[in-house]
Amino acid sequence: PPSSSPSSPPSSPSSSSPSSPPSSSPSSSPSSPSSSPPSPSPSHTKMKTATNIYIFNLALADTLVLLTLPFQGADILLGFWPFGNALCKTVIAIDYYNMFTSTFTLTAMSVDRYVAICHPIRALDVRTSSKAQAVNVAIWALASVVGVPVAIMGSAQVEDEEIECLVEIPTPQDYWGPVFAVCIFLFSFIIPVLIISVCYSLMIRRLRGVRLLSGSREKDRNLRRITRLVLVVVAVFVGCWTPVQVFVLVQGLGVQPGSETAVAILRFCTALGYVNSCLNPVLYAFLDENFKACFRKFCCASALRRETQVSDRVRSIAKDVALACKTSETVPRPA
């Protein structure tokens, strides 16, 4: 390397010996890009927390269900299902996957917040990104217990001279219909909401009783901010999904909407459940400071890259024009 011999003068190209190694060899230079791998961006490392990994799982479920909305919208507008049996099974499965993964992920986020607030010492071992990823995998596996059978039972059938996409309940339907509806209501809504309520009750009591949780005001501010974010996301989820869950339970128990008003209310409640998937990104953007900072940095970096590309292009064109002008000036003129 050049720094290893400060007393020797730098050799010029004309006086350098062919046998001597070049002083700018990539293998010998410590500043060469190949000698030191690029370190991960601090903002990316800061975003890779247990809470954000759970938020990613929630966003994945929301994205999947939003992809099905054009098909479900066409079904409602046309009055029948025109997309065939395979797509019917896919849409129904995604709906149930979204329902269960969303509730299970919000439950995991609430338990994660509870451990961070009420058991900060244990949280150092429990709240790691690898364990959060394992929990996400377990959530999808649990959701498959319902998602796979529902995909098998889903089919496009003729109902009242129209093709409908629905879940075909096994016979006798008078028995299995209510059992299916009650199980879905309990495991996708009531039990998770009870666990979430217990976690937040314990957290609120802890936050009220202790002024400083971690000995640092900055850390405490972050803990309370993230807890508020999770609480708002959970509250919006419960508010959006309670009406449709109640309607589905009532339908499963054998009470069908008999009037146009009841059908309109059912469709409104179903749409409200899908609105939750649209609201979640807005909540993250307004309530999570790290998310906002990284999003701004991403947008600014993209704009800077575009500006740099444009300026490089302009500089290259200017250089070509200057070179052409210089060449034309050096051409000898005829006498």
* 100-146 pLDDT per residue, tens: 999 999 999 999 989 988 888 888 888 899 999 999 999 999 999 99
Say if residue 215's pLDDT is above 80.
Answer: no
Say if residue 242's pLDDT is above 60.
Answer: yes
What is the per-residue pLDDT across 57-71, written as a single tens digit (0 to 9) for each? 999 998 998 899 899
Distance CA 113, CA 210 (A): 16
What is the per-residue pLDDT across 166-178, written as a single tens digit (0 to 9) for each? 899 888 888 998 9
What is the per-residue pLDDT across 70-103, written as a single tens digit (0 to 9) for each? 998 899 889 899 999 999 999 999 999 999 999 9
Most confident of 124-138, 194-208, 269-283, 297-311: 124-138
Give the pLDDT confidence score for residue 257 in this predicted structure. 72
Give the pLDDT confidence score for residue 35 in this predicted structure. 46
Q: Which two tokens stand for residue 188?
A: 């996708």
* Amino acid making up residue 260: E
Q: Residue 248: helix, strand or coil by DSSP?
A: helix
Structural domains present in the chain: 42-286 (1.20.1070.10)
Helix ranges (H only) for 214-288 are 217-252, 260-287
